[in-house]
Every structure is written in structure tokens, then in C-alpha cells.
């Protein structure tokens, strides 16, 4: 009743597009105290609720059940270390979610029924950053070890969360990652300006190592051929195995001209850029440089926005973002009631940067690409499009709206359709209709005894916070499988 919502600002657009440092500004404790005071300590905190009475998962609240009203109140009372304890009680990696989570908790904040919701994400990030800055977060190895060992394949948020939980129980945990650095999506899928690798990600990885988790990068798992490690040996050498390989098969756009040079999957662009940045500060040239080019990003979402932000930092000459569906409205539709996550028009960091430099929002809504244009030398020169109508309830091209666009480079950010299966093929695991590993939510057991699956490879492409949820719950079930009982919670 006393304070309006006041989110922490990003660095100014024209400043931040000159580097790959994080976009965030320093935490303002006076602002955070007033923002945490806006939390109403609700009798039913929908912000931290996910499970409905019949155990179905709702479309609202925090998937890892963060104790949000509790640590909001502690911040308001200037009890930051206690707030950190409550935050870590449910979240292994709040420094990740505080930066990259879209904050479904804020969408279901009770205050949001009548006023803008509490700035939960800002407060979460500030708590954990203050904890590291003050030395409150230290390695804490388990006091005892069991004689059980677990192999985790994949070092993204699901694999790391599971490894952390299982290590705390005293099990010996080894995490295998095919890339040259540990972190999966956190390392190579999210750009440095959103999540700093050398400070934020590496800091947590070093803590996990100090606590006993064993990391094996550059370890590709498969059938033992072509330089891979045989997954059958991992299952025989360990008491349990967790697949947390993510959903890494990108959706393609099978149109005339797709074979042309200059058309790339988004993750190819983002991964190469981050690796080159970490290896040489981009001096090795081992990345897709779009400096001075006209760039098109097809597909919205976080990945599309990250392509926009990366292209801005390369100094592109033009930047356009195609989205198939019409723009969301500024307010909730009647079919999208509170406490569901609000599907409303948003301006993310990449949109803001492009607007600042080029004078307009880069997004073009309700448009469908129909063909990639050849420049005559096997390289893309642009696209042909049709506008889209949603009157029938599904995207329908509108005749007579053909347009031709000139571009030098095109990135496809169309989402992902499931995991790559070469890692698991020797085990002949059952798959669901979307090619994900078939394992029930809450149990995570696959069709092979002692083999579990969690994260995007089980549920499909999703959020970092959902991956952490599944990693934690899978660890609980693996611990139960190994010990017949468990003290872990989800």
C-alpha cells in the first residue's frame, strides 16, 4: 500500500551492447527493502505453490516451491543471512534462477491481482549475490560417504541439481559432459551477458567440486564407438545412472533454400560465440561474426532474444525478428486468468537494445517464412514471407501478402524437439510420443532398471527452474532406489 513496484534496472542499452559483461546493475538495498515490504505474507502464497490438491501440476507459481514470503520478510528486516538459508532450502542455484528465470512466481503473486507484483526475482538474485560477497556460502562436504555411486550424464541445471543433492547424501557422484566445459545449457546455451560464466557459473562448479562431485568434461557418452564412452559400462560400474542430457535436437524449417550458406541454428551461433569469448575474448575468430550484416532471427522466446542480443554486440547493420503468432496483448486475456503465468506483451533486453539502436522494436508478428532466397552463389540473400491470420484458430497464410526481405544471415530459434538418443541407444529405453525418455513425473525411472531421466530430456524443452525441480526430485528417487528410503525432498 505504501510502495509501487520498482524493478532493478539493466545497464543502459548503448553501454551494454559494447561488451559481453552482465546486463545487471548493482543491487540497491534501499530499493530491495521497500520492494520486499510489498510482499503481503499471504495466507496462501500462490507464488510458491505448484501442486494442486489432486497432485496435478498447475500453471502457476514456483516449480521448486521457493519459500518466497519468508525470505522477502527477512530481507525487509535486514536479516540477509537467514534469508539466504531459506532460499537455499529449496533452490540449489538461486544465482542462476535469479538471473535467467522468467519468474512464474511473480505471475501468481497475490498482489498481482490488483497491482503490479512483488519484484521476487530481483530480491532472490540480491540475496544469493550478497551471500557470496560476504563469504556466507562455503563448501560443505558430506560428513559420511555411502558405498553407492551414481553417474550423471549431462551437466546442465537438472544434472547439477541432482548431483548436488545426491552428493549431500554421501553418494559418490560423477558428472559426464560432452562439451569441453561443465555447465551444459548454463555454460553454452545462455549468453554471458545474462549469466557470467567465469564468475557466476564457475564459482558454483568449484563449490560442488570442493564438496566431492567429480566432473568429467569432454566425455561423450554413446555405444563406445567414435570416441564415445560406452553407457553400458557406466551402468555396470555404478549403482544408478541419471540421464540429464537436455532437449538438444533443434526444430528446423524445411523450406526451399534451407541448404544455403548463412542459415544457422540459434544454438550453433550462441555456443560458438560463448566458447570463443571464454577461449580468447573472441580473438580466435572461431564464431559466427555478423558485424555489418543484415540479420534475421526466426522465432521468439529466450533463445531468439539471446540471438538478438549477441548480434547487437557484434555490430550488425540491421536486425529483424520474425514471430509466427500475433503479439500478446498488454493485459491478460480472459482465457489466461491469475494465477497462471501472464501471456502478455513484454520487452526483453534484446528487444530494448535493438529498439535503442535502430529506432524500432525488431519484432514482426504474425508472419510466416515461405522460402529462402539464393544470391546465385549458394548463399542466402533473404526470404519470402506471407502474413498470418489466426481467425480459424491456427496460423493461416493470407493470400496476396507476399513480401521479399533482404538479409545476409539467418538464425533459426524454433525450439527443440527432444534429446539426441545416441547416448542411450545401447540401453533401448522406451520413449514417449515426443521422443523424450519415458519416465513418470515424480518417479523418473526409465524402462531400464537403475536408469533414471530428468529435465528437458524427459519433460521436453522447458525452463531452468523446471530442470532444477526435476533434478532435485530425481535425486530423491535415486536415493530411495539406492537406500530403500530417503530424507531428500523435491
CA angle 167, 173, 178 (to 5 degrees): 130
The CATH number of 263-412 is 3.50.50.60
What superfamily in CATH does domain 149-248+417-483 come from?
A: FAD/NAD(P)-binding domain (3.50.50.60)
Q: Please report the pLDDT score of residue 351 as a whole number.
A: 98
pLDDT digits 0-9 by tens, 179-230: 999 999 999 999 999 999 999 999 999 999 999 999 999 999 999 999 999 9
Q: Do 13-133 and 149-248+417-483 agree at the fold level?
A: no
Q: Which grid cell is 197?
A: 560464466
Sequence spans of domains, the chain: 13-133, 149-248+417-483, 263-412
**What pLDDT does 58 receive?**
57
| Residue 59: per-residue pLDDT | 63
- Assign a CATH topology to domain 13-133: Fumarate Reductase Iron-sulfur Protein; Chain B, domain 2 (1.10.1060)
247 three-class SS: coil
What pLDDT, in 10s, does the model give residues 414-445? 999 999 999 999 999 999 999 999 999 999 99
The alpha-carbon radius of gyration of the chain (Å, integer) is: 23
Q: Model's pTM, two decimal places?
A: 0.96
Q: Which residues of the chain have pLDDT under 50?
A: 52-57
Strands 214-216 and 451-453: unpaired
Taking each helix axis as running N to C, give the angle between helix 301-314 and helix 266-280, from 0 to 180 degrees, rounded to the nearest 10.
Answer: 50
Alpha carbon of 24 to those of 97, 300, 349: distances in Å?
A: 14, 22, 10
Q: What is the pLDDT of residue 54?
A: 43
pLDDT given at position 55: 43
Burial class (CB in 10 A: 0-12, 13-18, 19+), 166: buried
Nearest-angstrom CA–CA distance, 453 and 461: 14
**How high is the pLDDT of residue 211?**
98
pLDDT digits (tens, 9 = 90+) for 97-122: 999 999 999 999 999 999 999 999 99
Amino acid at each position: 500500500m505504501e510502495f509501487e513496484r520498482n524493478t532493478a534496472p539493466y545497464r543502459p542499452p548503448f553501454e551494454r551492447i559494447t561488451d559481453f559483461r552482465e546486463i545487471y546493475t548493482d543491487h540497491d538495498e534501499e530499493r530491495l527493502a521497500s520492494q520486499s515490504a510489498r510482499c503481503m505474507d499471504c495466507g496462501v502464497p500462490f507464488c510458491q505453490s505448484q501442486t494442486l490438491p489432486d497432485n496435478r501440476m498447475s500453471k502457476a507459481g514456483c516449480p521448486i516451491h521457493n519459500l518466497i514470503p519468508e525470505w522477502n520478510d527477512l530481507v525487509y528486516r535486514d536479516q540477509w543471512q537467514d534469508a539466504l538459508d531459506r532460499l537455499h532450502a529449496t533452490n540449489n542455484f538461486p544465482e542462476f534462477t535469479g538471473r535467467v528465470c522468467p519468474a512464474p512466481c511473480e505471475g501468481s503473486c497475490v498482489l498481482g491481482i490488483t497491482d503490479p507484483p512483488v519484484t521476487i526475482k530481483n530480491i532472490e538474485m540480491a540475496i544469493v549475490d550478497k551471500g557470496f560477497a560476504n563469504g556466507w556460502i562455503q563448501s560443505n562436504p558430506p560428513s559420511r560417504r555411502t558405498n553407492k555411486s551414481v553417474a550423471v550424464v549431462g551437466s546442465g541445471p537438472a544434472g547439477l541439481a541432482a548431483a548436488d543433492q545426491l552428493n549431500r547424501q554421501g553418494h559418490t557422484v560423477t558428472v559426464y559432459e560432452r562439451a569441453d566445459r561443465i555447465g551444459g545449457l548454463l555454460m553454452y546455451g545462455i549468453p554471458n551477458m545474462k549469466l557470467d560464466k567465469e564468475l557466476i557459473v564457475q564459482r558454483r562448479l568449484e563449490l560442488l567440486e570442493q564438496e566431492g562431485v567429480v566432473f568429467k568434461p569432454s566425455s561423450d557418452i554413446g555405444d563406445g564407438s567414435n570416441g564415445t564412452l560406452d553407457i553400458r559400462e557406466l551402468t555396470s560400474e555404478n549403482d544408478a545412472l541419471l540421464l540429464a542430457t537436455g532437449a538438444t535436437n533443434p526444430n528446423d524449417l524445411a523450406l526451399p533454400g534451407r541448404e544455403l550458406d548463412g542459415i544457422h541454428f540459434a544454438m550453433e551461433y550462441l555456443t560458438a560465440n560463448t566458447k570463443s569469448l571464454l577461449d580468447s575474448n573472441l580473438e580466435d575468430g572461431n564464431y559466427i561474426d555478423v558485424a555489418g550484416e543484415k540479420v534475421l532471427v526466426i522465432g521468439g522466446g529466450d533463445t531468439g532474444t539471446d540471438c538478438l542480443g549477441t548480434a547487437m554486440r557484434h555490430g550488425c547493420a540491421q536486425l529483424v525478428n520474425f514471430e509466427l503468432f500475433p503479439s500478446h496483448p498488454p493485459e491478460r486475456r480472459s482465457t489466461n486468468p491469475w494465477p497462471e503465468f501472464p501471456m502478455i506483451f513484454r520487452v526483453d533486453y534484446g528487444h530494448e537494445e535493438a529498439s535503442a539502436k535502430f529506432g524500432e522494436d525488431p519484432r514482426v508478428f504474425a508472419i510466416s517464412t515461405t522460402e529462402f532466397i539464393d544470391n546465385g552463389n549458394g548463399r542466402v540473400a533473404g526470404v519470402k514471407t506471407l502474413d498470418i491470420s489466426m481467425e480459424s484458430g491456427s496460423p493461416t497464410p493470407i493470400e496476396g501478402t507476399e513480401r521479399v526481405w533482404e538479409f545476409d544471415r539467418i538464425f533459426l530459434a524454433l525450439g527443440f524437439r527432444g534429446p539426441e538418443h545416441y547416448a542411450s541407444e545401447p540401453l533401448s529405453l522406451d520413449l514417449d510420443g515426443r521422443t523424450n525418455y519415458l519416465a513418470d513425473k515424480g518417479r523418473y525411472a526409465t524402462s531400464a532398471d537403475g536408469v533414471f531421466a530428468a529435465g528437458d530430456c524427459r519433460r521436453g524443452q522447458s525452463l531452468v527452474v523446471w530442470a532444477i525441480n526435476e533434478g532435485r526430485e530425481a535425486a530423491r528417487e535415486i536415493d530411495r532406489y539406492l537406500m530403500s528410503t530417503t530424507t531428500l525432498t523435491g
